[in-house]
């Protein structure tokens, strides 16, 4: 039977320590994102670009239109990952994203609301925690071994690691170690439980502590960029992005199609 692994851990680790750890990880996310914004000047670029295309707008975007564009951005670009044209990549991303959200929310619930066996954890919360872990593993490993461009198209080893892979590797390993630790702890194997708990904490700390060097903060920037793109299209502003590779282009008076390889 599935059980709350954090409640069982409370026999050796005080719940307050687990709660403090989660708070520290949250602070690392905030600090790392702010550092990333100021270091890379992402916010400055975004607002400067927003003022630029707003000043060149050919038509005014009303408040109702802006609200509609915000909803479209939330539903299509965020919830449905509409920026991915490749179906396999989109599915892998959605599995990982929703799995991570479920895993994160249920972890917080279990640690803060049901930190000990004395307070029974609802079965639905526990089951969702395991489902979240499995979804992250399914999406993460599918992407890592079968979808990455440099592996599929360029023939590199599936174990090749570059800095751009830091986020997905840390996330997948963190959740994998969490799942293995929970299962081993349920069997009563203390030694292996301690080992995988340590691996879980290390991978999780790397995940939340490496934001300035990973793609973690992109989840905050991408919705803003998607909204900006929709507003630019609505007010008639030319995008500063290059045209699609298969868009028609003029060559000496004739029209030819650039081919995408």
Q: How far apart are CA 115 and CA 8, in angstroms?
A: 8
Residue with tokens 């449905």: 80
For a pLDDT cut of 70, what percent of the chain falls above it?
Answer: 73
Checking if the pLDDT of 110 tops 70, the result is: yes
Assign 149 a pLDDT band (cuts: 50, 70, 90). Answer: low
The predicted pLDDT at position 253 comes to: 39
Q: How far apart are CA 182 and CA 109, in angstroms?
A: 16
- Bigger pLDDT: 122 or 235? 122
- Bigger pLDDT: 213 or 219? 213
Element holding 256 (H helix, E strand): strand 254-257
Q: Which two tokens stand for residue 90?
A: 């989109």
Assign 152 a pLDDT band (cuts: 50, 70, 90). Answer: low
Q: How far apart are CA 21 and CA 205, in angstroms?
A: 9
Checking if the pLDDT of 133 tops 50, the result is: yes
* 70-85: pLDDT as tens digits: 787 777 777 777 677 7
The predicted pLDDT at position 33 comes to: 83
What DSSP letter does each residue of 55-91 carry, written as one string? HT-SSPPPHHHHHHHHHHIIIIIIIS-TT--SHHHHH
The predicted pLDDT at position 65 comes to: 76
Asked if 22 contacts 115 with a C-beta cutoff of 8 angstroms, the reply is no
- Bigger pLDDT: 94 or 77? 94
Asked if 115 contacts 15 with a C-beta cutoff of 8 angstroms, the reply is yes
Strands annotated E in 76-235: none
Q: How far apart are CA 143 and CA 204, in angstroms?
A: 20
Asked if 103 contacts 5 with a C-beta cutoff of 8 angstroms, the reply is no
Q: pTM for this structure?
A: 0.76
Assign 247 a pLDDT band (cuts: 50, 70, 90). Answer: very low
Average pLDDT over residues 237-243: 53
The predicted pLDDT at position 193 comes to: 95
Average pLDDT over residues 87-102: 91
Distances in Å between the Cα of 228 and the Cα atoms of 31, 32, 44, 64 are 25, 23, 14, 16
Asked if 221 contacts 44 with a C-beta cutoff of 8 angstroms, the reply is no
């Amino acid at each position: 039977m599935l059980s709350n692994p954090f409640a069982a851990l409370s026999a050796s680790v005080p719940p307050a320590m687990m709660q403090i750890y989660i708070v520290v990880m949250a602070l690392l996310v905030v600090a790392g994102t702010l550092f990333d914004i100021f270091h890379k000047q992402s916010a400055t670029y975004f607002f400067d670009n927003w003022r630029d295309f707003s000043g060149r707008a050919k038509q005014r975007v009303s408040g109702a239109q802006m609200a509609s564009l915000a909803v479209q951005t939330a539903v299509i670009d965020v919830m449905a990952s509409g920026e991915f044209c490749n179906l396999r990549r989109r599915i892998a991303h959605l599995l990982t994203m929703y799995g991570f959200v479920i895993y994160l929310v249920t972890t917080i619930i279990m640690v803060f609301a049901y930190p000990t066996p004395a307070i029974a954890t609802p079965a639905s919360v526990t089951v969702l925690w395991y489902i979240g872990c499995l979804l992250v593993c399914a999406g993460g490993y599918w992407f890592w071994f079968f979808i990455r461009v440099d592996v599929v198209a360029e023939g590199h080893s599936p174990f090749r690691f570059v800095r751009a892979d830091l986020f997905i590797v840390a996330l997948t390993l963190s959740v994998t170690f969490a799942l293995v630790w929970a299962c081993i702890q349920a069997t009563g194997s203390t030694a292996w439980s301690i080992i995988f708990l340590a691996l879980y904490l290390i991978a999780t700390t790397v995940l939340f502590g490496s934001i300035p060097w990973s793609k973690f903060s992109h989840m905050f920037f991408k919705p803003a960029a998607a909204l900006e793109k929709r507003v630019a299209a609505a007010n008639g502003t030319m995008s500063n992005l290059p045209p699609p590779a298969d868009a028609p282009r003029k060559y000496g008076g004739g029209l030819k199609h650039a081919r995408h390889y």
